[in-house]
C-alpha cells in the first residue's frame, strides 16, 4: 500500500472528505519557517495529524497554501485568505494567480503547533498477513478499545471481516473519531489516549506491521 493510500485508509471517510477540501497542500519533508518546539516529549503520531492541526484553529475548509515538517518533526503551515466574492473555501489569489497567505493566522497556528512535534509513521512496513490481521482485531477488541474507553472514547469496532480485508485499516480507532464536528475537541486528551493505547501491538510493530 502506497503512503497516500494508507493515509486515506487510516484517516477514514470523515478525514478524507476534509483533506479533499484543502487547497494546494504540499506535505513536504522539510518546513521552511519552523520554530523550536516547547516540548520534545509529546510527539504527535501521524495518524492524529489532522485533529492536531484543527485543534490549533485551522479551519480545514480554508485553503492551505503550504504544509511541511523538518527532520525534527517541527511542522510549518501557511494558510491562505478567502475570496469574499466567491463561494466559501475559495482562496484569494493575487494578479499572478498565487494564493494570498494570511501571515498573522499562519504565525498563530505555527505557534500553537510548536508545543509538539510530529512523529511520522514508519516509512518501511509491510502489510499484515491474515493471521496478523486477526491478531490486530483481537488486540483492538480486547486492549485498545477498552483502553480508549477508560480515556473517555467509545467506539463500535467493525466486524472481523473488515480487519481481514487486505486494503482496509481499522485498528487506528482514534482516527475515526468525528473531530471535525466536535466543538469541544480536547486534543491533549486525545493525544494522551493515543499514546496510552497503542493501535498496533508492539510485537507486531517490531515485525514491521503497521498500516
- What's the pLDDT tens digit per position in 142-171? 999 999 999 999 999 999 999 999 888 999
Ranges of each domain in the chain: 3-119, 130-205
Q: Is 55 exposed, middle or buried (0-12, 13-18, 19+ CB in 10 A)?
A: buried
pTM of the entire predicted model: 0.74
C-alpha 22/C-alpha 60 separation (Å) is 6
The helix (H) or strand (E) run that includes residue 132 is: helix 130-139
Q: For 121, what's the count of Cα atoms within 13 Å in the CB-facing half-sphere?
A: 21
pLDDT of residue 29 exceeding 70, the answer is no
Q: Tell me the sheet residues that pair with 143.
A: none
pLDDT digits (tens, 9 = 90+) for 31-68: 444 444 444 457 999 999 989 988 887 776 678 889 99
Give the β-pairing of 64-69 and 43-45. Answer: unpaired
Looking at per-residue confidence, does 100 or 124 come out higher? 100
Residue 87 grid coordinates: 463561494
Per-residue pLDDT tens for 107-120? Answer: 999 999 999 999 98
Q: Is 209 left (phi over 0), alpha (psi -120 to 50) or beta?
A: beta
Rounded to an integer, the average pLDDT of 98-127 is 90
What is the band of 30 on the pLDDT scale with cuts at 50, 70, 90? very low
* pLDDT above 90 coverage of the chain, percent: 48
Amino acid at each position: 500500500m502506497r503512503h497516500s493510500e494508507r493515509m486515506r485508509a487510516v484517516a477514514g471517510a470523515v478525514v478524507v472528505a476534509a483533506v479533499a477540501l484543502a487547497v494546494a497542500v504540499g506535505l513536504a519533508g522539510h518546513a521552511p519557517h519552523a520554530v523550536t518546539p516547547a516540548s520534545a516529549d509529546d510527539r504527535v503520531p501521524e495518524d492524529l495529524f489532522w485533529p492536531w492541526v484543527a485543534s490549533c484553529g485551522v479551519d480545514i475548509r480554508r485553503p492551505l497554501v503550504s504544509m511541511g515538517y523538518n527532520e525534527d518533526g517541527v511542522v510549518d503551515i501557511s494558510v491562505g485568505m478567502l475570496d469574499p466574492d466567491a463561494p466559501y473555501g475559495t482562496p484569494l489569489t493575487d494578479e499572478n494567480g498565487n494564493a494570498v497567505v494570511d501571515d498573522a493566522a499562519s504565525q498563530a497556528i505555527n505557534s500553537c503547533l510548536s508545543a509538539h512535534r510530529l512523529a511520522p509513521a514508519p516509512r518501511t512496513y509491510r502489510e499484515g498477513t491474515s493471521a496478523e490481521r486477526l491478531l490486530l482485531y483481537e488486540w483492538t477488541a480486547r486492549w485498545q478499545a477498552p483502553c480508549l474507553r477508560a480515556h473517555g472514547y467509545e467506539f463500535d469496532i467493525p466486524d472481523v471481516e473488515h480487519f481481514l480485508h487486505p486494503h482496509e485499516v481499522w485498528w487506528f480507532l482514534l482516527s475515526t473519531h468525528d473531530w471535525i464536528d466536535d466543538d469541544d475537541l480536547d486534543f491533549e486528551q486525545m493525544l494522551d489516549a493515543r499514546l496510552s493505547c497503542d493501535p498496533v501491538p508492539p510485537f507486531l510493530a517490531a515485525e514491521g506491521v503497521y498500516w
